Structure 1
């Protein structure tokens, strides 16, 4: 077998490759077969994370700035934008060849390992509900078409992804929403990203529309106005979210799970964490310039909150969690304002975070 880098042992060569920034992966991928194999190997990405070379990437479904003068959301083309917290750099991902008019309105976005999955939405310019699935691969820098979403066509559904770093398994779950006749749905599905296949899941206990998906401690949580349910993949069944009994998740898009196995939320002007027994503890107040939180994403020790300022412009701040969590309290979290350059202040319709 050919060496990864001639003249170096594979262990040393692997350490060199692991230090390359994620945005150079497409270049590495095009060099040779061995490098392509290495970049596809889950062990390579575990090495990047264990050595501290993996980079957090925040991904937004954001409107194209040249169309800011338009008034209705149906007229706005949307694209994928990435923000690199470590460097403060903003950029746009290559447009999807299969979507010449931009991303579907109200599509769902999920990060599964080194790939981004776009599902459904209202496809421009007609605005018809679509079953299309599009996958962007950070490793190759290319888009591919995924297997279409099984019927019925749906909108406003919950969506979230899980990633087993040991096996490289990547699954995107969807549930609820409503069909084209506005009938609320109980059905749920799982998409195997690597295998490009869908399989049905058991129905939820009740219909849920305009819901939000979160993966927490290996379970897929569906949060909505009428409470929450959780799908346990190991058991293959749905169950109630005990800590959320009776709770209505009006602002469910600001609920996010972090790697510490806890659920965070922005409710009103408070950022809170759910501790043992379902107790919610205040972590911080929203920054004074932020009028309302709209989306939140999380990665190692950080929580990025995006929302609207008092002039309704786009704002983003990162909360640095430096405190020790106890059962009833969490303190000493500090905010850092994110500088948003011109061209990246458009309306946001989806957000996720990947560590690559």
Structure 2
């Protein structure tokens, strides 16, 4: 019995269609139609058909920033020389933000050393410095600014490093290697405290009585300084740090005074082992804090909500951590519960050849996000060893020690280059 299906009828019609239409002639025409005819003039693209204005520079700023932000760090100095527009785009906050989002910027240690023949600088990349790593000598300028011959203070905002001298200031861009002269402080200072709070620079201490008491604020956007407050205690040789909107003025000596009597000696000791806290937003001074155990503060820095302080007790060093994170929201709160407590950390392993006197100088810098504290020893070590008659074998001026705040251990970093002496250091994005 034969059963007729509509599907069989459809197959029969398809076979008839294929036999009538899909012969070799029709199939050849079908294949040729899929490829363009090279002899057809409308399909030939010549240079005259291209828009000459479609270049990289013709892109809007947002698209151009997306392109420039992906360039390797080694090419940034060359890009800044292409044109004025590219130069200012690379200096813009948007460019810095894009580099951070793409994780193309990383923390580095910048060392600055002035001399009579000019200034020298070097950078050391983090977060994993090894003894085999080397410093990159990045700057050598014949600058004869007298105020930079004495050791200046360094602060950084992103890739910009501000070199603050007694009566002059320079801004160095670590990405473009461009140096610009900026407005000096209102009062000449020497061995003062400096730190950055909310992208503004604050200085205090140093110099005469007027300079030591005035707290100055620098706005990088307007290149202007102004006095925003006055210190309770006038310090000389102090160190600056900043955490959670508070400017810390740490250590130093009293200006105008210390007499030889017992009261004067006690007061000088209090200055050397304490820190004053200035609330930048509220424009008020909070209760001062003192380092437990006393001693003389020789170095300090801030990292991820903590202030690290290195103190000297003539024959030994102590390393302390102060929890500077606000517990009660700040806003001028001066209660003891507004901040954390002091915690003693592992002391740095100093070589036995070093005597803790004025010959040796210390510099403490926070690098990275709560990972590394770097303490650098700079001083006339060769002169010290020569006077003491001890051997210089196995010891080199410019010792660098790295403290891992996560593991709580010290390690040896690469020594400073030979040309870097009496260096001031700061952490910078590169």
- TM-score by length of structure 2 reads 0.62
Residues 2 and 204 of structure 1: is their aligned pair in 2 closer, same or farther, counting only changes over 3 Å?
farther
Q: Is residue 2:220 matched to residue 1:175?
A: no
Q: Is the alpha carbon distance of 1:96 and 1:77 closer, same or farther for their aligned partners in structure 2, counting shifts above 3 Å? A: closer
CA distance in 2 between counterparts of 1:19 and 1:271 reads 40
Structure 2 partner of 1:284: 346
Q: Which residue of 2 aligns with 1:343?
A: 418
Q: How big is the shift at 1:249?
A: 6.8
Give yes or no for contact 2:113–2:151 (8 Å, CA) kept in 1: no
> Match for residue 279 of structure 2?
232
Residues 198 and 303 from structure 1, CA distance in 2 versus in 1: closer, same or farther, beyond 3 angstroms?
Answer: same
Q: Which has the higher contact order (CA 8 A, sep 6+)?
A: 1
Residues 18-58 of structure 1: CA distance to partner in whole angstroms, max 9, x if unpaired?
A: 44444532212223455434423323322322333212121
Who is 2:194 aligned against? 159
Equivalent pairs, count: 314
Deviations 1:51-75 (A, max 9, x none): 33212121223366xxxxxxxxxx7
Runs of 5+ in structure 1 lacking a partner?
Answer: 65-74, 122-130, 165-169, 323-331
Higher mean alpha-carbon deviation, 153-162 vs 269-278, is at: 269-278
Structure 1 or 2, whichever has the larger Rg, is: 2
Tell me which residue corresponds to 1:140. 176
Residues 110-129 of structure 1 show CA distances to partners (whole Å, capped at 9, x for unaligned) of 212222212224xxxxxxxx
SS in 1 for 2:99: helix
Match of residue 26 from structure 1: 77
Counterpart secondary structure, 1:25 = helix
Q: Give yes or no for contact 1:117–1:136 (8 Å, CA) kept in 2.
A: yes
Q: For 1:229 and 1:307, locate their aligned partners in 2 and report how far apart those are by CA, in whole Å.
A: 25
Whether the aligned pair in 2 keeps the contact of 1:3 and 1:10 (CA below 8 Å) is no
Q: CA deviation at 1:353?
A: 0.8
Q: Flag the structure with higher helix content.
A: 2
Deviations 1:279-316 (A, max 9, x none): 33244332354746711111221111111688572211
Please give the residue correspondences for 1:323-338 in structure 2 after superposition, counting only pairs within 5 Å.
332-338=407-413
Q: Is the 8 A contact 2:276 2:286 kept in 1?
A: yes
Q: Distance in 2 between matches of 1:338 and 1:4?
A: 43
Distance between the aligned counterparts of 1:319 and 1:192, measured in 2?
32
CA contact (8 A) 2:400 2:416 kept: no
Displacement of 1:3 in angstroms is 7.3
Deviation for aligned residue 1:176: 1.4
Matched, 1:251 2:251: no
- Alignment partners' CA distance in 2, 1:89 and 1:16: 31
1:54-97 deviations in whole A, cap 9, x for unaligned? 12121223366xxxxxxxxxx78653332223573423343446
Corresponding residue for residue 233 of structure 2: 206
Residue aligning to 1:68:
none
Local SS of the residue matching 2:399? strand
8 Å CA contact 1:30–1:36 kept in 2: the answer is yes
Query: How far apart are the structure 2 equivalents of 1:206 and 1:97?
Result: 38
Flag structure 2 segments of 5+ consecutive residues without an equivalent: 1-52, 253-270, 325-338, 382-391
| CA distance 1:7–1:184, change in 2 (3 Å) | closer
- Whether the aligned pair in 2 keeps the contact of 1:229 and 1:238 (CA below 8 Å) is yes
CA contact (8 A) 1:305 1:316 kept: yes
CA contact (8 A) 1:60 1:348 kept: no
C-alpha spacing 1:190/1:262, structure 2 compared with 1 (3 Å): same
- SS state at 2:90 partner: helix
Aligned residues of 2:248 and 2:275 also touching (Cα < 8 A): yes
Which residue of 1 is the match for residue 41 of structure 2?
none
Looking at secondary structure, tell me which structure has more strand per residue. 1
What is the alpha-carbon root mean square deviation over aligned residues?
3.6
Question: Match for residue 362 of structure 2?
Answer: 294
Cα distance in 2 for partners of 1:334, 1:19 equals 35
